[in-house]
């Protein structure tokens, strides 16, 4: 019988041909790609970013843990078990083909077939997204799909090597059992660590205040979130990132202003922030006086008015002057479009403008919803004593007053009075007992404030300040105060040590944490809950079945390190180790195949 010298190309063509005649493979391949296309269509037509992220992560879990796993198992079983049983391998090897050459050809066939399915899924998502979105694609889509492609190809190599190794060293039946167990565990393997993680949220840490050494408590959640918040700001993984970084840098400059280290003292720094940040830095303040006048009927009096025999229902006229005020949206747009600002300031102002538009869209009446912040950035122009040309001291006339028209008497009108009238006009909140108040049965006052006191940029500025100050104060308390290493803190450390041990021996954590770290979230949806005064969910987009990199609260001489969020084992190192192990399994499999009896 004449020997046939088969070339590598011939073996590859033969392998592809016999696989494509396998109906079960064709059916399985079709199901996988129909699934990918259907999910890609839903993904491309979902408008909410965080939902996109959740859809894609669930897709990746199902694609890898179910379809890819089964496809690899099916294809390897086809080539190395079925074709061994029907003597196909024996016939090929008997035609002067070395076992090494045959193994490499079959391995390459399997790798190409599986990789083709992965690449097809990658292309499906990107092409369908482009078609559905006027041929525009976002960085989020590119990042998610690219990490999916690279991660899945690496995992494909590891799984192929692992399953081939099991078949040669354990046999077909044990391989099927082990693979089934692994596929089942892939959905629940990360839950034990997550359950232990929840225990750490109920722990209270004790700190000593660096100013007076008095003890105070903070929950482990508040400490972790405040430090993690600095982490996402550092890497700009947040909506309105330019405005966020500017405000955070300002509030965390604790040496410049100690008022920012405590919520109570922060309230006393309104004028300082108004001047130093919003005026001097961002230039969103109109530094010119503005006079206001309106009339009304008294419904409540202060003690000074009562002493002068003013009565309820007396008609009054009110006049006051603001020393400065926030610019409106059109003025901000003009600043952005001008050549006077640098690009950094323009990006910050654009974020401020976009945030304001979000508030106005979300709230039916923005100023009504945030009326409690109205007076914080309202500053009356105060009359001053001045010298005239001949050196005589004159007093400026009273410009902030309320005048009783019946008695022809005037009394000082203060910011507190204005705030009380405003609160009643827009929200029907009663004033304090010792304060002026006006009737507004005909809604004239409400219309007046609607027209002249909307100040949407001012309200946005105060809202975003409230968002950030709670986290920056907690950050200050967490890293600048010495932590008491009591039983509660030791309990936290023990829980974290347990989590670290579980993660280090959990191959699913080692692999999947690489995907979650580098694919990330839809960062433009990471923002404060608009219905709260200061609450941002940093884990809202996390998937229950996936692990995520967590940093430990490492200490530096009894203080939590400021950059402790950077101290973790990079998943890239873990997956590199797994890849090295997979290569070793590949070498062992080749050796075993060269020795196995194929008769």
Q: DSSP for 169-207, please give it.
A: HT-HHHHHHHHHHHHHHHHHTTHHHHHHHHHGGG-EEEE
The pTM for the full model equals 0.89
pLDDT digits (tens, 9 = 90+) for 98-110: 778 878 888 999 9
pLDDT at residue 158 is higher than 70: yes
**Rounded mean pLDDT, 154-170:** 93
- The pLDDT score that the predictor gives to residue 433 is 67
Question: pLDDT tens digits for 401-442?
Answer: 999 999 999 999 999 999 999 998 888 877 666 788 888 778
C-alpha 196/C-alpha 199 separation (Å) is 5
CA 261, 262, 268, 270 torsion-angle sign: positive
Rg of the Cα trace of the chain?
Answer: 34
Percent of the chain residues past pLDDT 70, beyond the cut? 93
Residue-level pLDDT at 429: 79
Q: How confident is the model at residue 1 (pLDDT cuts 50, 70, 90)?
A: very low
CA-CA distance, 566 to 157, in Å (whole number)? Answer: 30
Average pLDDT rounded to a whole number, residues 563-578: 90
Average predicted confidence (pLDDT) for the chain: 88
Answer yes or no: is pLDDT of 595 > 80: no
pLDDT at res. 86 = 55
Which of the pair, 329 or 446, is modelled with greater confidence?
329
**pLDDT at 395 (0 to 100):** 53
Output b/e per residue, 507-534; b: 16+ Cβ within 10 A.
bbbbbbbbbbbbbbbbbbbbbbeeeeee
Phi, psi of 461 (to 5 degrees): -60, -45
Contact in structure between 400 and 380 (CB atoms under 8 Å): yes
State residue 391's pLDDT score: 53
Residue 81 — pLDDT band, cuts 50, 70, 90? confident
Q: Give the DSSP per-residue string, 433-466.
A: SSS-EE--TTSHHHHHHHHH---HHHHHHHHHHH
Question: What is the predicted pLDDT for the residue at 505?
Answer: 83
Residue ranges per domain, the chain?
Answer: 8-188, 265-463
Average pLDDT of the segment spanning 180-184:
85
Q: Which residues does 236 contact at the CB level (< 8 Å), separation at least 6?
A: 245, 523
Cα separation of 522 and 237, whole Å?
Answer: 9
Describe the strand order of the beta sheet including 204-208 as a list of residue ranges.
215-219, 204-208, 482-483
Flag whether pLDDT at 84 surpasses 80: no
Quick check: 112 pLDDT over 90?
yes
Res. 157: pLDDT tops 90: yes
CA–CA distance, 123 with 121 (Å, rounded to integer): 5
Q: Average pLDDT for residues 91-102, to the nearest whole number? A: 65
**Helix (H, G, I), strand (E, B), or coil: what is residue 32?**
helix
Pairing of strands 204-208, 482-483: antiparallel
CB atoms within 10 A of CB 7: 11
- Are 503 and 546 a contacting pair, CB within 8 Å? no
**Which residues touch 594 (CB under 8 Å, ≥6 apart)?**
99, 100, 103
**Cross-strand pairs, 320:** 292
Q: Which of 14-23, 135-144, 222-231, 494-503 has the lowest mean pLDDT?
A: 14-23
Q: Are 249 and 256 in contact (CB under 8 A)?
A: no
Say which range, 111-120, 195-204, 372-381, has the weakest mean pLDDT: 195-204
Question: Closest Cα to residue 74, out of 17, 14, 23, 118?
Answer: 23
Q: Is the dihedral of CA 85, 86, 92, 95 positive or negative?
A: positive
Could you tell me where the beta strands, DSSP code E, fall in 251-310?
285-286, 290-300
- According to the model, what pLDDT value does residue 434 have? 75
Q: Which residue is listed with tokens 């003009």?
A: 334
Given a contact cutoff of 8 angstroms between Cβ atoms, the answer to whether 377 and 326 are in contact is yes
Q: Fill in the DSSP letter of residue 296.
A: E
Beta carbons of 357 and 456 less than 8 angstroms apart: no
Q: Which of these ranges, 290-294, 464-468, 493-497, has the smallest mean pLDDT?
A: 493-497
Which tokens go with 565?
A: 């969020």
pLDDT tens, residue by residue, 308-348: 889 989 999 999 999 999 999 999 999 999 988 899 999 99
493 alpha-carbon distance from chain centroid = 26
With beta carbons less than 8 A apart as the criterion, state whether 106 and 586 touch.
no
Q: Measured between alpha carbons, how far is 442 from 451 in angstroms, rounded to an integer?
A: 16
Per-residue confidence band for 454, with pLDDT thresholds at 50, 70 and 90: confident
Beta pairing class for 559-560 and 555-556: antiparallel
What confidence score (pLDDT) does residue 272 get?
95
């Amino acid at each position: 019988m004449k020997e046939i010298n088969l070339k590598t190309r011939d073996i590859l063509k033969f392998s592809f041909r016999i696989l494509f005649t396998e109906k079960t493979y064709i059916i399985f391949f079709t199901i996988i790609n129909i699934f990918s296309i259907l999910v890609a269509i839903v993904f491309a037509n979902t408008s909410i970013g965080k939902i996109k992220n959740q859809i894609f992560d669930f897709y990746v879990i199902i694609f890898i843990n179910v379809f890819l796993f089964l496809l690899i198992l099916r294809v390897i079983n086809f080539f190395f078990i079925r074709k061994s049983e029907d003597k196909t391998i024996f016939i090929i090897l008997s035609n002067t083909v070395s076992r090494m050459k045959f193994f490499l050809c079959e391995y390459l066939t399997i790798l190409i077939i599986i990789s083709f399915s992965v690449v097809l899924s990658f292309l499906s998502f990107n092409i369908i997204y482009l078609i559905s979105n006027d041929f525009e694609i976002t960085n989020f889509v590119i990042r998610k799909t690219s990490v999916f492609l690279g991660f899945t190809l690496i995992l494909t190599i590891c799984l192929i090597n692992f399953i081939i190794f099991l078949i040669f060293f354990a046999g077909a039946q044990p391989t099927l059992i082990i693979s089934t167990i692994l596929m089942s565990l892939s959905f629940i393997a990360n839950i034990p660590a997550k359950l232990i993680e929840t225990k750490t949220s109920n722990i209270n840490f004790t700190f000593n205040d660096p100013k007076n050494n008095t003890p105070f408590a903070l929950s482990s959640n508040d400490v972790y979130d405040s430090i993690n918040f600095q982490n996402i700001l550092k890497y700009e993984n947040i909506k309105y990132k330019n405005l966020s970084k500017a405000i955070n840098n300002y509030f965390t400059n604790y040496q410049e202003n100690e008022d920012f280290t405590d919520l109570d003292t922060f309230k006393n720094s309104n004028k300082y922030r108004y001047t130093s940040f919003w005026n001097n830095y961002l230039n969103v303040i109109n530094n010119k006086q503005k006079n206001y006048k309106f009339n009304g009927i008294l419904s409540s009096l202060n003690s000074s008015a009562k002493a002068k025999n003013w009565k309820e229902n007396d008609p009054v006229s009110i006049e006051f002057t603001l020393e400065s005020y926030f610019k409106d949206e059109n003025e901000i747009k003009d600043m952005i479009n001008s050549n006077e600002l640098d690009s950094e300031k323009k990006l910050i102002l654009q974020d401020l403008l976009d945030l304001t538009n979000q508030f106005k869209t979300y709230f039916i009446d923005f100023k009504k919803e945030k009326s409690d912040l109205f007076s914080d950035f309202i500053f009356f122009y105060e009359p001053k004593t001045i010298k005239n040309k001949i050196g005589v001291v004159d007093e400026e006339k009273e410009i902030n007053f309320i005048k009783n028209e019946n008695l022809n008497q005037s009394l000082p009108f203060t910011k507190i009075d204005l705030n009380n009238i405003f609160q009643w006009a827009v929200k029907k909140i009663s004033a304090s007992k010792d304060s002026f108040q006006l009737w507004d049965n005909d809604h004239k006052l409400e219309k007046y404030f609607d027209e002249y006191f909307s100040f949407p940029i001012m309200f946005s500025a105060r809202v975003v300040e409230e968002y950030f100050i709670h986290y920056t104060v907690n950050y200050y308390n967490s890293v600048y105060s010495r932590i008491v290493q009591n039983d509660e803190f030791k309990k936290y450390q023990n829980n974290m040590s347990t989590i670290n041990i579980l993660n280090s021996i959990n191959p699913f954590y080692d692999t999947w944490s690489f995907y979650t770290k580098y694919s990330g979230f839809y960062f433009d949806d990471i923002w404060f809950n608009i219905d709260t005064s200061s609450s941002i969910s940093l884990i809202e987009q996390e998937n229950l079945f996936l692990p995520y990199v967590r940093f430990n609260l490492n200490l530096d001489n009894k203080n939590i390190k400021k950059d402790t969020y950077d101290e973790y084992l990079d998943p890239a190192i873990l997956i590199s180790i797994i890849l090295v192990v997979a290569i070793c399994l590949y070498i062992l499999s080749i050796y075993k195949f060269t020795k196995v009896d194929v008769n």
